[in-house]
Amino acid sequence: MPADFMESLAAAQLSAALAEHGMALRGGFRVTAADDLPDPAPGRQARALLLVGNVGGAMWPAFAAARDGGTGANPMDNWTRRVIDPIAGQVGALALYPFVGPPYFPFQRWAMRAEAVAPSPLMILIHPVHGLWHAYRAALVLADDCDLAPVPAAPIPCETCADRPCLRACPVAAFTATGFADRTCASHVDGPNGGDCREGGCLARRACPVGQDLAYPPAQMAFHMEAFLSRRR
Ligand code: B12
Ligand code: SF4
Ligand code: SF4
């Protein structure tokens, strides 16, 4: 039995089930009492949390083929539940989702404990290889002890990126010292000059040189932007 759960047969089987839907296992960590997570099964406390996510455009074809005909609200969230709940059931896990809230589960804090990601100036977590082209879709909470190795140290791209092109690319300077001005962003994207962001995705995110080969396909960019706008209209 390998020391690290991520190297185990169970992790390989889970990864294979997720890969059928273009998703991937994104690491995990041992849960502490401070995490205050719900019990994964009656009388059984949470011991480990595994993160599920998407990297690059891998998930888009699976979602596009299975979505609710484009008519239902939150089609990606609904599809995610449809594919993840049965996988969680197979491994005896409780599935938690980033879109359930408020209050929301702290997925970005969990991600920083699960894999080598760090905050970027755009607030999205940056990964040394995937850049800004990844997200989290679910967490699987297990009652079993998993040997999860600590996250290995990895370079944080933003620390050596002197030019910070991401911060110069937004036409309305929506990334401010106090945070992301989401309403400034949304009114630009929804307006007459917002076509580039609306159809091709956030210009600031696209300006980052890390992982550019993993940029989402245009249809996925437009889908996420429309979902963002629909929450801000
Ligand atoms: C609410 C929310 C938003 C709000 C932010 C409002 C606000 N100022 O709080 C809005 C609607 C603006 C937003 C927009 C976007 N979001 Co958002 N959002 C969330 C959500 C659902 C909850 C955040 C939260 O309150 N968490 C609770 C706290 C307690 O968790 P935490 O981890 O401790 O807190 C961190 C975040 O709150 C973060 N933060 C604070 N303000 C903002 C603002 C933005 C824009 C982001 C990305 C993060 C962020 O800083 C904290 C420390 O790291 C998370 C999912 C989740 N459950 O976390 C996604 C999440 C943060 N969003 C994400 C993304 C990708 C986006 C978008 C870039 C694209 C999109 N899907 O729409 C857009 C930006 C729009 C654009 N023009 O491109 C991803 C980030 C992935 C990553 N690599 O890090 C997440 C994790 C969802 C996911 N499925 O993976 N988002
Ligand atoms: S452009 Fe540079 S500072 Fe901005 S997210 Fe990418 S690596 Fe980080
Ligand atoms: S989507 Fe466009 S307006 Fe909004 S933050 Fe990105 S570059 Fe700025």
Please check whether residue 149 lies inside any domain of the structure: no
26 and 134 together in one domain: yes
Give pLDDT tens digits for 61-111: 999 999 866 556 789 999 999 999 999 999 999 999 999 999 999 999 999
Lowest mean per-residue pLDDT among 38-42, 70-74, 165-169, 199-203? 70-74
More confident residue, 149 or 190: 190
74: exposed, middle or buried (Cβ count in 10 Å: 0-12, 13-18, 19+): middle
Q: Please, are residues 99 and 77 in contact by the beta-carbon 8 Å criterion?
A: yes
Question: Looking at residue 12, what is its pLDDT?
Answer: 93
13 and 80 together in one domain: yes
115 and 72 together in one domain: yes
Question: Looking at residue 164, what is its pLDDT?
Answer: 97
114 and 17 together in one domain: yes
Q: Please, are residues 21 and 85 in contact by the beta-carbon 8 Å criterion?
A: no
- Asked if residue 233 has pLDDT above 80, the reply is no
Question: Looking at residue 3, what is its pLDDT?
Answer: 67
49 and 131 together in one domain: yes
14 and 109 together in one domain: yes
115 and 79 together in one domain: yes
120 and 211 together in one domain: no
User: Which residue in 75, 91, 100 sits closest to 28, CA to CA?
Assistant: 91
* Ligand 2: centre distance to CA 171 (Å): 17
Which of 185, 193, 225 most suits a substitution to test ligand 3, by most atoms within 8 Å of the C-beta? 185
Average per-residue pLDDT for the chain: 94
Look at the chain and report how many structural domains it folds into: 2
Residue whose Cα lies nearest atom 44 of ligand 1: it is: 123
106 and 178 together in one domain: no
107 and 80 together in one domain: yes
- Asked if residue 53 has pLDDT above 60, the reply is yes
Give pLDDT tens digits for 126-174: 999 999 999 999 999 999 888 898 898 999 999 999 999 999 999 999 9
53 and 165 together in one domain: no
Closest-lying ligand 3 atom to the alpha carbon of residue 205: 6
Range of the domain at 63: 5-142
Please check whether residue 156 lies inside any domain of the structure: no
Please check whether residue 128 lies inside any domain of the structure: yes
Question: Looking at residue 69, what is its pLDDT?
Answer: 60
Question: Looking at residue 1, what is its pLDDT?
Answer: 43
